[in-house]
Amino acid sequence: MGSKGKAGLDFSGKVVLITGAASGIGAAAAEMFSKLGACLALVDREEEGLISVMKRCMKTGLEPYGIAGDLLKPPEIECIARKTTERYEGRLDVLVNGAGIMPTGTLQSTELACFTHVMEANVRSGFYLTKLLLPQLLHCKGSIVNVSSVCGLRAFPNLVAYNMSKAAVDQFTRSLALDLGPQGVRVNAVNPGVIRTNLQKAGGMDEQSYAEFLEHSKKTHALGRIGEPTEVAAAICFLASELASFVTGVTLPVDGGKQVMCPR
């Protein structure tokens, strides 16, 4: 990569806020942005995991600003926005909406309360936090990267609420790209396939089922394997960077070819 490419991935002096930063893709993105010089605001409700990620980031970059908060609660979202604005004096260059949950279920087995919970966690939280932080992003002509899923592009069985929520994230991404593009803010999403995180187990999958799921997933991805959080983090950093200065409204599959696979 030439000097121009290196400059394009330099986030020195840039303020980056990441939700869902305590584990998985959010944690990998935090560490990668840290190595690239970013000033980080890291958000998660899991305080212990958040502290662990902050310590890892400090080994390679600046000390992050950690905020323990529950994105299911609008007052805590307001607190997160206020604290970030005060800490970085109204500057925000990159917002990564990475928090989310993945419960399984068909229409028959999904209760209304579960559906509401998924939409609040995966859609409403990002909508409201983005709305509150939009003045800072507009001021900096910043970039938004939403963490969606291959499930936003293709429907998969036993995931009705999750499929719907991620399709909504994709439409949110495209809508914001149209509305904010004229004001200099780019908005994109990454759509991961199966990634080695705790998402499935947090959604209720036991150890044996998870191991079987991972083995089966080798056959459902064109590359013959599942992905690693760092591979999604790299795509997030690219989309947030100057290397992607003419890219907006994109829902980028980072899925080892899963969304082009067809059963035979």
Backbone angles phi and psi of 68, in degrees to 5: -85, 115
How far apart CA 113 and CA 165 sit, in angstroms, is 14
Residue 264 pLDDT: 75
The structure tokens listed for 149 are 């899923």
Query: For residue 2, what are the β-bridge partners?
Result: none
Question: Dihedral sign, CA of 32, 19, 185, 65?
Answer: negative
Per the annotation, the verdict on 162 as an active-site residue is yes
pLDDT band at 161 (very low <50, low <70, confident <90, very high): very high
Helix (H) or strand (E) holding 95: strand 94-97
At 233-264, the pLDDT tens digits run: 999 999 999 999 999 999 999 999 999 998 77
257 φ/ψ sector (left φ>0, alpha ψ -120 to 50, else beta) = left
Lookup result for tokens 């991620």: 166
At 170-192, the pLDDT tens digits run: 999 999 999 999 999 999 999 99
Catalytic residue among 88, 128, 162, 210: 162
pLDDT higher for 2 or 263? 263
Residue 2 pLDDT: 40
Residue 4 pLDDT: 40
At 111-128, the pLDDT tens digits run: 999 999 999 999 999 999
Nearest to 136 by CA among 184, 90, 179: 90
> Where in the chain are the domains?
3-251
Domain 3-251 has CATH 3.40.50.720: yes
pLDDT higher for 205 or 247? 247
142 within 8 A of 251, measured Cβ to Cβ: no
Residue 54 pLDDT: 98
Lookup result for tokens 């390679």: 60
* Largest separation between any pair of C-alpha atoms in the chain: 55
Say how far residue 146 (Cα) sits from the centre of its chain.
Answer: 5
Share of the chain above pLDDT 90, in %: 87
